[in-house]
Amino acid sequence: MSSSPPKSAPRARVNRLHHAAWVTKDMEATRQFYEEVVGLPMTACWKEKTPAGVEYCHTFFELGDGSALAFFDWQDEDVNPRGRKSPGHLAMECDSETQAAIKARHDAAGYKTRQIDHGYCVSLYVTDPNNFHLEFTADAVDAKEIFANHTPNAHEYLRQWMAGDRTVNNNFRDH
C-alpha cells in the first residue's frame, strides 16, 4: 500500500540537512569535543537575543557536505532549562519557494508555524504530530560570504561569550 502526494503538491523538495541542533550547558566543553576530538571545524559562533530579550550563543560545527551540528547555550538555562533532546530540532535546507509552499501547507492544515529572519537565513519552525521540532531553512543569497567573513572570528566570539560578553554579533537581523 503506497501513499502518493496530493496532485497539488509542488515538485520542489528539501535539498539536504542544514543542521541538527541541541542545547548545551558548557559551550567550551562542547567546542573542544566536536572540534578537537571529533574534528569538525567551528564555522560560526553567533551571540544573539531572542525577540523577548533572552541572550544565547549559537555555534555551528561543519560537516563535509556543508551541513552542521549546532548548539545553543542559553544565558538563562539554570533558571529556564530547555530539554536536552536528541536532537532539539532538525533543520533542512530548501529554497524560499519551497519554504513558502511548506508554510502554506502547514497553515492550510491548521499547524502553527513560526518564521524568523536570522539575517544569514530565514527559518520556518514547525512541530510534527509527534512533537518533533523541525526547521526549514532558506539561506540568504549571500550566506556563504556571511559565514566566510564570520568564521575567522568564531573562536574569539566564543571566548567573549564564555567570559560573559553578551554583545550581539549578528548585525544581519533586527534584535
Domain range spanning residue 146? 16-162
Q: What pLDDT is stored for residue 52 in this prediction? A: 87
With 0-12 / 13-18 / 19 or more C-beta atoms within 10 angstroms meaning exposed / middle / buried, residue 33 is middle
**Does some domain include residue 67?**
yes
* Contact between residue 134 and residue 105 where contact means Cβ atoms under 8 Å apart: no
DSSP SS3 for 148: helix
N residues, the chain: 175
**Does some domain include residue 172?**
no
**Does some domain include residue 26?**
yes
Residue 26 belongs to a domain with what CATH number? 3.10.180.10
**Does some domain include residue 70?**
yes
Which band of pLDDT confidence, cut at 50, 70 and 90, is reported for residue 2?
very low
**Does some domain include residue 168?**
no
53-104, pLDDT tens digit by residue? 889 999 999 988 999 989 889 888 777 777 665 567 888 889 999 899 889 9
What is the C-alpha to C-alpha distance for residues 111 and 143, in angstroms, rounded to an integer?
29
Domain count, the chain: 1
Confidence (pTM): 0.68
What is the C-alpha to C-alpha distance for residues 63 and 42, in angstroms, rounded to an integer?
10
59-69, pLDDT tens digit by residue? 999 988 999 98
**Does some domain include residue 117?**
yes
Q: Average pLDDT, whole number, for the chain?
A: 85
